[in-house]
Amino acid sequence: MLRISSCVIALLLSSTVFAAPAVTPVASGSAAVASAASSAAPAASSHASSASSTAKSKSSVASSPSTFPAASATVAPISLELNEVLWNSSDSGPDPQPERGSLGASILGPTDVFIAKENADALAPPTTDHGTVGGAKWPFSLSHNRLQTGGWARQENTDVMPFATQMAGVNMRLTAGSIRELHWHSTAEWAYVLKGSTQITAVDSSGRNFIATVGAGDLWYFPPGIPHSLQATDDDPDGSEFLLVFDSGAFSEDDTFLLTDWLAHVPVDILTKNFQTDPSAFAHIPSTELYIFPSTPPADGNSSLPVSPAGLIPNPFAFPLSQMEATQLNGGSVKIVDSRSFTAATAISAAEVTVEPGAIRELHWHPTQDEWSFFIEGEARVTIFAAQSNSRTFNYVPGDIGYVPAGMGHYVENTGNTTLTFLEIFNSAIFEDISLSTWLALTPPELVKAHLGFDNETLSHLFKSPPTVIGPASA
């Protein structure tokens, strides 16, 4: 026994001894690459030497060898593997498998094929994905649905999607005439009507009032704390369905201030004083909240709105986005709506984007705003780059929510064969993005070449103004 273990120790020692010198050839190899690079490209040598002196000063500060890779001139180039999406939700071929090229192997145990079909880049991720990025997808189909007489509501917030810290969403359906009861909340509310039309009313702190009927593709917005109502009209026999977005990730639709809930929790003595009448006037106040309930469809137009001595709310809480002309782009279109056009909407801005098959919403980021996105039509793929080599790809189908924190680079690719339509929504007054292509186009080309090794032909493809959506590559 003793003999064997000393043998093992000897082996271990010898392997350590033999492994150690291997470090030296690697180091001298990269030095050789660096000197070859600087002699081949004299223009780049000043960058290379300043980079290596920076690296030296860093490593002299560090007490243990740095885990950061060497300066760019000595780093191997990226792989040219295309890493395309491998299937889409409607592919009728064999069940998808976690295999990409020579990586992975088929599934032998149980699996949810339906979810696998919709999430190709979860099961067979591109090899460019790396590290940890939070869950940036939530399908409303997985939300608990609150069913009421007259409609339903389902929500997404940090309880189900912890990654989405700055905004939350609700999908709500009201049958014709049904009411989402009079209420308020301390967050702003931004809405996009998906079908039918909804009549909205509000009163502000100056005693001014507002009424409007908001149709499919149009918006409404209520500032924080403003009391309001929503009622589906019978313009569409099915009533109305809409998307609501709130500027707090922790918002809960079950936690709003409801008219009936309040009055059921105030002493009747106080009600008699407040409304200057006797207790019998309150005999019909519901003892529990109504939330969503059926009623008679509202009258057309604004005839039912009482005239306020303070007048109407001057900046309308509704915006006819469906009538706004989209900016046509190579590969799609965009409508941007923020407080420059929808002046009341000071806490939430948005873009409605279309992307044709094979085109992409270009590589970009939003300087200070998180993005809460909602997929309306088509299929999409998004890779979020979260710095420190962390990158993760997600797939989206209609009814899915996406999320990209401020600053994180991303794109949106149409991976289907129909038009992709989605909303980008931000907790800001002004829509802003930074186009990667435009950043590089407006930076001294020698700097860009020094980083990416682009030739003049490739540099000539950069866009000096943001293309936003870019059609399929002509190559």
Ligand X SMILES: *[C@@H]1O[C@H](CO)[C@@H](O)[C@H](O)[C@H]1NC(C)=O
Q: Which of 126, 331, 332, 416 binds ligand X (CB under 6 A)?
A: 416
**Is 130 among the annotated ligand-binding positions?**
no
- Smallest CA-to-CA distance from 421 within 192, 116, 123, 152 is with 192
The Cα 96–Cα 124 span in angstroms is 9
The active-site residue out of 181, 241, 362, 424 is 424
91 in contact with ligand X (CB under 6 A): yes
**DSSP codes of every residue in 439-470:** HHHTS-HHHHHHHH---HHHHTTS-SS--SEE
The Cα 381–Cα 360 span in angstroms is 9
Query: Of 83-91, 166-174, 285-293, 358-366, which segment contacts ligand X by CB under 6 A?
Result: 83-91
Q: How far is the CB of 18 from ligand X (least distance, A)?
A: 46
Q: How far is the CB of 115 from ligand X (least distance, A)?
A: 17
Residue type at position 336: I
The Cα 10–Cα 48 span in angstroms is 43
323 in contact with ligand X (CB under 6 A): no
- Smallest CA-to-CA distance from 423 within 461, 388, 372, 378 is with 372
Three-class SS of residue 426?
strand
Q: Which of 30, 35, 52, 88 binds ligand X (CB under 6 A)?
A: 88
Smaller CB separation from ligand X, 11 or 43:
43
Task: Give a three-class secondary structure readout of 357-371.
Answer: CCCEEEEEECCCCCE
Relative to beta strand 420-426, strand 371-377 is antiparallel
Smaller CB separation from ligand X, 310 or 430:
310
Q: Which of 41, 142, 194, 312 binds ligand X (CB under 6 A)?
A: 312
**Is 189 among the annotated ligand-binding positions?**
yes
The Cα 342–Cα 314 span in angstroms is 12
Q: How far is the CB of 364 from ligand X (least distance, A)?
A: 24
Q: Which of 15, 90, 277, 465 binds ligand X (CB under 6 A)?
A: 90
The Cα 68–Cα 5 span in angstroms is 37
456 in contact with ligand X (CB under 6 A): yes
DSSP annotation of 416 = S
Query: Left if phi > 0, otherwise alpha if psi is -120 to 50, otherwise beta: which for 171?
Result: beta
**Is 99 among the annotated ligand-binding positions?**
no
446 in contact with ligand X (CB under 6 A): no
- Kindly state the tokens that stand for 367: 């300087």
Q: How far is the CB of 332 from ligand X (least distance, A)?
A: 16
424 catalytic? Reply is yes
Smaller CB separation from ligand X, 206 or 417:
417
Residue type at position 374: F
Q: How far is the CB of 91 from ligand X (least distance, A)?
A: 5
Q: How far is the CB of 367 from ligand X (least distance, A)?
A: 30
The Cα 149–Cα 293 span in angstroms is 6
371 in contact with ligand X (CB under 6 A): no
Q: Which of residues 244-303 bind ligand X (CB under 6 A)?
A: 302
Smaller CB separation from ligand X, 41 or 406:
41
Q: Which of 417, 458, 460, 465 binds ligand X (CB under 6 A)?
A: 417
Binding flags for ligand X, 195-234, as an x/- string (CB under 6 A): ----------------x-----------------------
Query: Of 84-92, 115-123, 145-153, 365-373, which segment contacts ligand X by CB under 6 A?
Result: 84-92
Strand runs labelled E in 310-355: 318-319, 327-329, 332-337, 349-355
Question: Which residues are CB-contacts of 126 (< 8 A; sequence separation ≥ 6)?
Answer: 83, 100, 383, 393
Smaller CB separation from ligand X, 211 or 243:
211
Q: Are 468 and 373 in contact (CB under 8 A)?
A: no
Residues binding ligand X (CB under 6 A): 88, 90-91, 211, 302, 305, 307, 312, 379, 416-417, 456
Residues making up the binding site for Mn(2+): 183, 185, 189, 228, 364, 366, 371, 410
Catalytic residues: 424
Residues making up the binding site: 183, 185, 189, 228, 364, 366, 371, 410
